[in-house]
Structure 1
Amino acid sequence: MEHVLVTGGAGFIGRFVCDELLRRGKKVRVLDSLIEQVHGPGERPTSFHGDVELIRADIRNGAAVEKALAGIDAVIHLAAEVGVGQSMYEVERYTSVNEVGTAVLFEKLLERPVRRVVTASSMSIYGEGLYEDADGRLLQEVARSGIGDGLRQWDPTDEQGRPLRPLPTPEWKRPNLASIYALGKYAQERATHIMTAPYGMEGVALRLFNVYGPGQALSNPYTGVLAIFASRLLNGQRPMIFEDGDQRRDFVHVRDVARAFADALDIPAAAGGTFNIGSGHDRSVREVATALAAAMGRDDLKPEIVGRARIGDIRHCFCDTAQAERALGFTAREDFSSRLAELAEWVASQTAEDRVDEARAELESRGLVA
């Protein structure tokens, strides 16, 4: 029985990953600091599987990481501070946890090498997704203009003012790091590839797109957008959407993501690879907010379109799944509509503190909303 360490395994994605590993006959240990912003004041998540061994400690604690690695055969590295907006002012915290924490993990892995390390990266490393101009040329480094000076040209254009067409973003697109969070996730994935092969280990990085599903921290205003919308709706408030709501994303269910991690841990062809994990379908943020409101029986709460942009936000980025399909045999299986209904049912049984206005005020006070 292979013994797997899941760092950050008590979080939203981590709990589903642990369940999938247990289902496949793995023995699972978790290292997680259980920070209050994500988990609240509890000692152990109530939905956490009883067969999982939990070590409550910070990923930067070398002694705790060394203890957690004892007898471990493989690692899934999820531990990270998550949130693009918050990363832009809690710079030391995000850099310390995401980059220094990963460094501590690999230093300890030099003493206790494992078969394979699979690290969670993020679609945020791309910045804007891949685009095509009117002449059919592919553009990798698109930047929007006019957002910060009072203009409202949300969609990027070419030098002649012609609109660009967003395309599914493949792994070969050059990174364009627009936030401290993106910088940290890129550092994590590069550290994984740099530090594994020379020491006889295998490394894999999964670039996750917008993950959704039951169990996300509803009171954390820096979590996934669907959880933020759900918190607003649960409290009788309209979902708040920056810009005009027509920005497009790829929403992938957490069960599909958990399956991708478990596959990436075992499939030989995954070794040394970096893979997008998404649904392969793009949806506008406005469309998703409206659909969730309907699923929660709150059609009356129409999205609040802010008409302003957060600094560092991108317009369009959605997933090219071809490489994950070829190497991992991965395709998303979960139906968006049915899983949205499941999410709505779960949210109805929860309580949540709506802190979205507070988070927006924090960003505005720091000049991060244009």
Structure 2
Amino acid sequence: YKTPDGRRIHDAHRKPSDIRIGQWDPLSAAGEALSPIPTDEEKRPDLASIYALTKYAQERAVLIFGQAYDVDAVALRLFNVFGAGQALANPYTGVLANFASRLANGKRPMIFEDGEQKRDFVHVRDVARAFRLALEQRQAAGHAINIGSGRSYTISEVARLLAEAMGVPKRPPEILGKARSGDIRNCFADIAKARELLGFEPSHRLENSLGEFAAWVRNTVVIDRGADMKRELEERGLVS
């Protein structure tokens, strides 16, 4: 994040008391409004969930192994991967899969908070190409590298774009006004390092790729477990 005067803030946190009253965006220590900026690889780790901790542990294990045994090891930090073939029955695998499952079953997508949180969506074909480049480019060895689109989308915008692609534009999302424990407000990639070390450039934008994704969904048996997910989180006290 950055402050109104341009200072970068690396450890902005949301207080549970703020979240409970609908103050979704983090504030500076002085109470200033902050603007989200792309996350680069130099940002200090500041983990908010067990899921994030496991991903960081895996990354460090790979890079430490590579250094210890003189193996060319690269850790790719994948942002929200989407595309035909992803699991649609598991509501924890990704927001697009969750939304598609709801829409395909005649239901409205469910969005936590206010829908204005921002994410980066990268197509699976771009991800596959990034892995190939990581194998080919020796200068990438020993690095952790963001793989994203370099763009940000609000979650409510994503729900709208997908509903249009699936032919149900009048099925708006249900804004829950509640937050899930461990969710961060904004997360989108700075991909300058991927461009420099890998020669990576994403070629499949979200807004231009949802038609193909929607066509695949239409020919897939889709089980909606969104309500189950919401109930499970609430029963465990992970929604506030």
Residue 145 of structure 2 corresponds to residue 267 of structure 1: no
Q: Once structures 1 and 2 are overlaid, which stretch shifts more, 350-359 or 147-156?
A: 147-156
TM normalised by structure 2 equals: 0.97
Contact kept? 1:146, 1:152, Cα under 8 Å: no
What is the SS of the residue equivalent to 2:196?
A: helix
Q: Distance in 2 between matches of 1:222 and 1:150?
A: 23
Q: Deviations over 1:199-221 (max 9, x none)?
A: 13111000011111110111111
Aligned residues of 2:149 and 2:205 also touching (Cα < 8 A) = no
Amino acid at match of 2:174: E
1:342 to 2:212 alignment: yes
Whether 1:195 and 2:71 are equivalent positions in the alignment is: no
Moved more, 151-160 or 280-289: 151-160
Give the match's secondary structure for 1:223.
coil
Aligned to 1:120: none
Q: 2:223 aligns with which of 345, 349, 353?
A: 353
- Which structure carries more strand by proportion? 1
* Structure 1 residues 300 and 149, CA gap change in structure 2 (3 angstroms): closer
Which residue in 2 is equivalent to 1:221?
A: 91
Query: More relative contact order in 1 or in 2 (CA 8 Å, sep 6+)?
Result: 2
Corresponding residue of 2:181: 311
Gaps of 5+ in 2: none
Find the aligned partners of 2:153 and 2:206 in 1 and give their Cα distance: 10
From 113, 121, 125, the equivalent of 1:255 is 125
Query: Which of 97, 105, 108 is 1:238 aligned to?
Result: 108
Task: Return the index of the structure with the highest Cα Rg.
Answer: 1
- Report the residue type matching 1:233 in the other structure: L
Deviation above 6 Å: which 4+ runs of structure 1? Answer: none
Distance in 2 of aligned mates of 1:303 and 1:325:
35
Task: Calculate percent identity across the aligned residue pairs.
Answer: 56
Q: Is the 8 A contact 2:179 2:239 kept in 1?
A: yes
Does the CA-based 8 Å contact 1:147-1:154 persist in structure 2? no
Q: Determine if the alignment matches structure 1 residue 183 to structure 2 residue 53.
A: yes
RMSD: 1.2
Separation in structure 2 between the aligned mates of residue 213 and residue 185 of structure 1, nearest angstrom? 21
Distance 2:16 2:23 in 1: 6
**TM-score, normalization: structure 1?**
0.63
Structure 1 residue 158, shift from structure 2 partner: 1.9
Contact 1:212–1:226 under 8 Å retained in 2 = yes
Kept after mapping to 2: 8 A contact 1:277/1:324: yes
